[in-house]
Amino acid sequence: MTLAQIVPAHPFSAFIAAVTNMFERAAERRQTHAVYTKTLNELSAMSSRELADIGVHRSEIPNIAAAAAGME
């Protein structure tokens, strides 16, 4: 006989798992947003000449930041 057969499951185990999952997903979203914001800010701070040197147009910055954060 195993312990799982002797001791019944905690009545709130599904709720606890759902809350834990919610916090993990929120942490992942915060991390993704932090990468997006950092990339966006760094590219936005560059001059048009610097952007042209790396082959980026200013209108592409949000798309590049989203790709860097894995949002696309």
**Can you spell out the DSSP letters for 28-70?**
HHHHHHHHHHHHHHHHHTS-HHHHHHTT--GGGHHHHHHHHTT
pLDDT band at 12 (very low <50, low <70, confident <90, very high): confident
pLDDT band at 43 (very low <50, low <70, confident <90, very high): very high
